[in-house]
Structure 1
Amino acid sequence: MKTDWWKNAVLYQIYPRSFQDSNGDGIGDLKGITSRLPYLAKLGIDAIWLSPVYKSPMDDNGYDISDYEDIAPEFGTLADMEELIAEGHKHGIKMVMDLVLNHTSDEHPWFQEALKGPDNPYHDYYVWADEPNELTSAFSGSAWEYVPHLNKYYLHLFSVKQPDLNWKNPKVKEEIYDMINFWLDKGVGGFRLDVIDLIGKEPDQLITADGPELHNLIKELNQATFGSHDVVTVGETWSANTDNAKLYSNPDGSEFSMVFQFEHILLDQKGPDKWDLAPLKPADLHAVMSKWQTELVGKGWNSLFWDNHDLPRAISRFGDDSSAYREISGKMLAIYLHFLSGTPYIYQGEEIGMVNYPIADISEADDIESRNMYAERIAAGYSKEDLLRSINTKGRDNARRPVQWSSEPGAGFTTGTPWLAIHENHSWLNVENALADEHSLFYTYQELIRHRKTYPCLAQGQYERLEAGNPQVLAYRKFDENDEFIVIVNFGKGDQAYQLDYDISDYEFFMQNYADQSTKLRPYEALVFKK
């Protein structure tokens, strides 16, 4: 029976390489995740979104899959995955698998067969052309790679080692459906679908996202696999807007539960490229969040997030990672987000306030996207200083640093050498210290999760944007037939005056992120009132 349990759930994303190492090889693994389930149960989350753990050469850290039905040896075994699913259920935590359906690894047996030529039945599992066109890869350069012995080019919208699948081939779809049902039979709680808006591509027409057949493909996928199961599905859709999000997350259940949209994530850049930095205007952020809150009511479902494995740390980006305001701004961001309608996602380490890790040289970068951009722009004449500033602000390695569990060497993440350097602030910024401090950010997240389970208004109530007469002060009202809340936050570093265009004289104080009350809004202050 389908219950839509995900509407009142809070999900937690784990990037397996960086969560917990159980065997001292410096790489996080499945047994490590299993060992930390009691911690996640204490936080109160309902499900884990697990970034890919499938067999992979790790050119793109697991998003290049060479076997969808086996586990990468560095993460463990299929038996370890089955144990994680079973142990998760004992703690009331479901496992949401990451599905990469737009492309495979070039080391996948399908592609190895495809390279044997057009007469091979697997050749048409991928997208080929006699001549390249101007499509470019998300990881820099042309999206086409020449194969000399075939005198053909294959499409790769990401790394050259990630050839794009041909979703026009019925056999490709059948293979994918069988694989998804394989995981459903193992009891997973759902799927996050990587760059799913690209599977309907029409490369000859220079169409990558939102191809004309996209939604038909998704409906067919739904009907053949997860549509009849009580699971959550979230599509990663960089091209989503409030119109097509209503298709993706149609309440009739014909496509997905929800999508990740990224409109709010694009506000601190100049133009289409994330590396071209621009200051965030809080009023613009509030306008975007308010639009998504109001336009999907009854017609779709929101996912709520600040960061993930592809994005920098939220506090460093939207708050203030200085010692004075790190926790205060982290609590402000948490409160603003978790009173909104939809399903919130917490990215590992967000609940203790982990921050960006600046590097001094490109040799310290692991991420393929950062390295490729740096090489491309150095050749184009950009300065090293400007490029490192962009990488330190937006680079994906920021989120991929190992979780800081304790102050000991290896931060409690590993007894060996970590695959990616650990932030030196783990000596004081760690889970152990957060759990020992009843006023820490961890307990704010725990409290917010508890409120979402207590008051249905938070997840599913109506939203009304309120004006505060100050572009740094964001305010809104959440309400249903039983409860009403007013949320007021200061996104600025200085004290802010405000005048709310709503009478809250009959509301009671409910929650805040400072230890005391004040007559003014202090830096990054968040206030919640309840009627």
Structure 2
Amino acid sequence: MPSYADSNGDGYGDFKGITSKLDYLQDLGIKGIWLTPFLKSPKVDNGYDVADYYEIDPTYGNKADFDIFLKEAHKRDIKVIMDMVLNHTSTDCKWFQEAKKSKDNPYRDYYIWKDKPNNWESFFGGTAWEFDETTNQYFYHKFDKKMADLNWSNPKVVDEAQKVLRFWLDAGVDGFRLDVINFLTTDGITKDNPMKDENQIHLYDIDQSGVKEAMKTIKSTVNAYENRFIVGEIGSDKIEVLKQYQSEELLDVVFNFNFGSIPIFSSERIFNELQSMEKNMSNYPTLFFGSHDMPRMIDRLADGNPEKATALATLIFTAKGVPFVYYGEEIGMQNILAESLEEMMDIQGKTHYQLALSKGKTPEQALLEGNKNNRDKSRSPMQWNDNNFAGFSIEKSWIKVGQDYKINNVEDLKKDKKSIFYNYKELIALRNKEKVLQYGKYDRLGHKDNQILYTRSFEGESITVIVNFGDSVKIKLPKKAKILLGNKELKTNSFIIYKK
């Protein structure tokens, strides 16, 4: 949200800005928008620290701006889901400000307080407990100390969450992306987590037994409205855990970071994850290689090569699943890197910088550690033009069009008919046209010689996709095969999609 399109020159994206780009999104062919947090927030963690669930942060506009955006998106047949953070609130939230006043305050049990904390750790590093001098107790925060966890064992918290969901569903949103939803503290604070090799095993503070009942309540609340959609962020790298949360009464789909956040390219690893999702996921899996929490896909997996990035995109748009494209991927945007602490905006990067200093590291070493964990890499502004935006210099983030040259804005890119943008547009148009690519089952799913290949079928039609990351090769097509995209002369980092 803050990095997409700035309408008033204040350095932050806003609803008027994104409304002005809806024609671009429609032209690209996308059918849905996931909005990162836009509710009122001090923005300690990119808006994931909500201070008021019913008020739009003035940085992004007002409710009227949002209503116009939603109406215009729907007019273009584009659905809109919003990030919803129900695990914690900002400590600026009225609920918390009341809760900290006294131990008998009506809002006290909206949060989790203890005289003596256990050993649970913050996701960002360090202890998950912060001492409050007003009542001489500690409150629990799974993330930053300015983000206090809600107490989901309190029925009043559940009621508040349902009211919030209904408010935005009544406003017209088409669903929610639920942030760290399996982190909900539904069973209170239990035992210390065990340790292994000086690392904490999150046995008791995540996936508590009451989480599924909380999800059922959330899903039933959303299901009272027609044609709504829920995607969940599940904090786990185990497919056995992920699949537990995807069902008709829990979540429609869940993000599988085993696939989406692969750190280093490996066609075999990507294939194994596709195979694992086919074997284990009862519903459609999610397909993505980028998000606001990880380095840019083109740098992380494609070595800055647009042809390889396009080949990876082919998997997302043609394999079985629900594809998600992180903004800027369609134009090949690359990482940015903080050159000083002052340039670092992400709380996770800042926290690791400070932790490194506390361990005796030099500022230079601390900056390296901070950048290693800094999520700003992928949060630079969408490159509509050459202007600086939200504190980022556009020169620090590039669009790589081909092997030998770069440009730095969208309009120049759209003039180049060989660009990654045109490839994305063709792939999206093909998926939107062919029902096989939307609903088809796998008849074949294989991997050989750095090629990932699969055939999908639906209602008597079949489409075959071969994505080649290996040596150049010529493919012998079946008789009467019709090439939909690509070429049977498969070069390295290219693809072919054909229909029998």
* TM-score (normalised: structure 2): 0.89
For 1:440 and 1:204, the matched residues in 2 are separated by 54
- Structure 1 CA distance, aligned partners of 2:163 and 2:232? 19
Shift of 1:390: 6.3
Number of the residue aligned with 2:423: 444
Question: Does the C-alpha gap of structure 1 residues 443 and 482 become closer, same or farther in structure 2, counting only changes over 3 Å?
Answer: farther
**Alignment deviations for residues 45-80 of structure 1 (CA, whole Å, 9 cap, x no partner):** 112100111000111111000100001111111111
Shift of 1:477: 2.6
Q: Distance in 2 between matches of 1:289 and 1:378?
A: 41
Aligned position for 2:387: 409
**How many angstroms does 1:499 deviate by?**
10
Deviations along 1:390-419, whole A, 9 cap, x unmatched? 66566311111000012x333xxx5xxx33
Structure 2 Cα separation of the partners of residues 37 and 307 of structure 1: 21
The amino acid of 1:510's aligned partner reads: L
User: Which range moves more in the overlay, 91-100 or 279-288?
Assistant: 279-288
Equivalent position amino acid for 1:496 in 2: D
* Structure with greater contact order relative to length (CA < 8 Å, sep ≥ 6): 1
Q: CA deviation at 1:478?
A: 2.3
1:257 aligns with 2:243: no
Aligned CA RMSD, in angstroms, stands at 2.4
Q: Answer yes or no: is 1:488 the counterpart of 2:466.
A: yes
Q: What aligned pairs does 1:46-61 form with structure 2 within 5 A after superposition?
A: 46-61=31-46
* Conserved 8 A contact 2:337-2:376: no
Alignment of 1:141-220 (within 5 A): 141-202=126-187, 203-205=189-191, 206=193, 207-220=204-217
- TM superposition shift of 1:175: 1.0
Q: Tell me how far apart the structure 2 counterparts of residues 304 and 434 of structure 1 sit (CA, whole Å).
A: 25
Measure how far apart 1:527 and its partner are. Answer: 2.7
CA distance in structure 1 between the partners assigned to 2:287 and 2:335 by the alignment:
21
- What amino acid sits opposite 1:364 in the alignment? E
Is the 2:2–2:13 Cα contact (8 Å) retained in structure 1? yes
CA-CA distance at 1:445 after TM superposition: 1.8
1:311 and 1:394 in contact (8 A); partners too: no
State whether residues 293 and 340 of structure 1, in contact with CA within 8 Å, keep that contact through their aligned partners in structure 2.
no
Q: Is the 8 Å Cα contact of residues 352 and 429 (structure 1) preserved in structure 2?
A: no
- Structure 2 contact 169–225 (Cα < 8 Å) conserved: no
Secondary structure, counterpart of 1:346 in structure 2 = coil
| 8 A Cα contact 1:259 1:302, kept in partner | yes
Residue in 1 that maps onto 2:3: 18
Partner of residue 422, structure 1: 394
**Deviations 1:256-297, CA, capped at 9 Å, x for gaps:** 2211121124543xxxxxxxxxx443312220122113332x
Counterpart among 74, 80, 83 of residue 59 in structure 2: 74
369, 374, 395: which is aligned to 2:348? 369
Where does 1:259-274 land on structure 2 (aligned, <5 Å)? 259-265=254-260, 267-268=262-263
Alignment of 1:83-482 (within 5 A): 83-202=68-187, 203-205=189-191, 206=193, 207-239=204-236, 241-250=238-247, 253-265=248-260, 267-268=262-263, 279-296=264-281, 299-321=282-304, 325=305, 327-380=306-359, 395-406=374-385, 408-410=386-388, 418-424=390-396, 425=398, 428-463=407-442, 464-468=444-448, 470=449, 472-482=450-460
**2:403 aligns to what?**
none
Q: Given residue 353 of structure 1, which amino acid in structure 2 is its aligned partner?
A: G
Worse overlay, 446-455 or 19-28: 446-455
Q: Which amino acid aligns with 1:257?
A: D
Kindly provide the amino acid, as one letter, of the partner of residue 231 in structure 2.
Answer: V
Q: Distance in 2 between matches of 1:288 and 1:383?
A: 39
User: What is the aligned partner in structure 1 of residue 200 from structure 2?
Assistant: none
Shift of 1:160: 0.5
1:505 maps to which residue?
Answer: 478
Give the Cα–Cα distance (whole angstroms) in 2 for the partners of residues 70 and 369 of structure 1.
26
Q: CA deviation at 1:509?
A: 3.3
Change beyond 3 A, Cα 1:389–1:496 = farther
Letter in 2 for 1:204: T
Determine the C-alpha separation between the residues in 1 that align with 2:366 and 2:461. Answer: 48
Superposition deviation, residue 344 in structure 1: 0.8
Code of the residue aligned with 2:245 in structure 1: it is: Y
Q: Please give the secondary structure, in 1, of the residue aligned with 2:394.
A: coil
8 Å Cα contact 1:238/1:260 also seen in 2: no
Which amino acid is 1:422 matched to?
I
- Which deviates further from its counterpart, 152-161 or 223-232? 223-232
For structure 1, which runs of at least 5 residues remain unmatched after alignment?
1-15, 269-278
1:529 maps onto 2:498 in alignment: yes
Match of 1:272 in 2: none
Task: Name 1:12's counterpart in structure 2.
Answer: none
Note the alpha carbon deviations across 1:421-447, whole angstroms, 9 max, x for none. 334436813211222222222222222
* Distance of 1:46 and 1:423 partners within structure 2: 31
The structural deviation recorded for 1:84 is: 1.1
Name the CA distance, whole Å, in 2 between partners of 1:473 and 1:217.
42
Aligned-residue sequence identity (percent) comes to 36
CA contact (8 A) 2:253 2:286 kept: yes
